[in-house]
Structure 1
Amino acid sequence: MFAPLAGRSVIVTGGSRGIGRGMAMRFAAAGCRVLVAARDRTAAEATAAEIVAAGGTALGLAVDVADEAATKAMTAAAEAHFGGIDILCANAGIFPSARLGQMTPGDFDQVIATNLRGTFLAVDACLPAMRRAGRGRIVVTSSITGPVTGYPGWAHYGASKAGQLGFVRTAAIELAADGITINAVMPGNILTEGLIGNGPDYLRRMEAAIPMGRLGSVADVANAALFFASDEAAWITGQTLVVDGGQILPEASGEG
């Protein structure tokens, strides 16, 4: 049996939609107090309101993770409302498509700023509270794209996601003495608003490439994050967990 996480304070960046929303809802269902951070205040507050309506405790806040002042304000709000920060789900990320030759330096910088710089800033902002408590759990949402696979149009995204894993491994060494663990989940194709926007043909192709025969759900990724945040994962740090239904395993598409 797993020790309960009820009462613990959680920040979920990018928490108003997709995987982040799934994490916010899952941690709230486990009894955690959740700060839902997203660039869109209305969307963040709507997710928080849904948690509260279900009997949970949550706060919605507008946060641009690429902005240092915004991430520090985020952690100040979590400490003021919840008394501390136990868990950070550094999930915020963007994935606009642009192929090399058309991708501008601005396109590249925007993705790196949100996905990689934003991870650093969110972690950095949470460290003082976690160090005072002598413990903490950080879960970074990376991807199979970049660290393991590639996809046309996502060179900047892949670079940011691979960069996150380099950050995680060194951060794990530096934070271990403070009782803080940091790990990453690496989702495959998850059925989110962004993926649905690619159209039914794309979804069918993705399903056909997954040995388990279906796209992942946000709950599949949220459950992995919940494990990394648990007391039972206290001796696991600097690690990654692929959540992809076996997507990266075949040597080629289709059966051999």
Structure 2
Amino acid sequence: MSTLSSGIWRCPACMHHQPWFSSKKGLKALDRRCSKCSERTRVLIERSGSGQGRTSDARVWMRPGASEDALIREAASRNHALKSTAKEGVKEQSDLPPIWGVNWRPEAALEFSKPLSREVIRSEILRFVAERWEGHLKLVASALESNLPIKSMDGNEFHNWSESFSKCLYEAFDERLHDLEVGDVLEMEIMPRRDGRTYLSRRRSRFILDIRLTLRRLAHSAAVTLKQRLKWHRWMVRTKILDEHLKDL
């Protein structure tokens, strides 16, 4: 039997990745039973981009023309996630420096003096990424395009969106590492006694932490009131006058 369609799919119940094959041309939906938890899953391969309807953790990746061995390797790579190897790598390599604040998250939303617009959020995030993480500029721009709401956001809305956006970037970072073209780098020794999974998991942790801090800085800038700005301005003027007076002594 010839295989016209093939790829990887993820079970929404146990998050297990496994290859799939079909002899149908132009397959629109997938109906499979998970080999790990035996849960049956039906999922559309091509979903509407409107964002409406029920959400599901089931995912399908198309890999036309890929061999069975290549799909098995990719599924195994996706099942061996970076986040599970980061902690193991620290245990095995005690010389790895700690990443301070790696699990930091803002505890509560701030009260904005004015809503944050889509244009301000997008420009500030892309400006920061271009400055510090230019290699991920396209990744972040794509995530913003698909996740950034059209309307302006208040403090609570921005707080919830920041968490979902960070999670989206977290998953998008992993997504690029399991392609057939670059999947082998995860098993390579990038640095002495540090394989690709350990190295990239730490890079991802720093990247997501920087994004969280940038989003929180945006929230603080939107929470500043006009009264506070005037007060700070008076302090700056007084400091300048005092400094000039001390220079004259």
What is the TM-score with the length of structure 2 in the denominator? 0.29
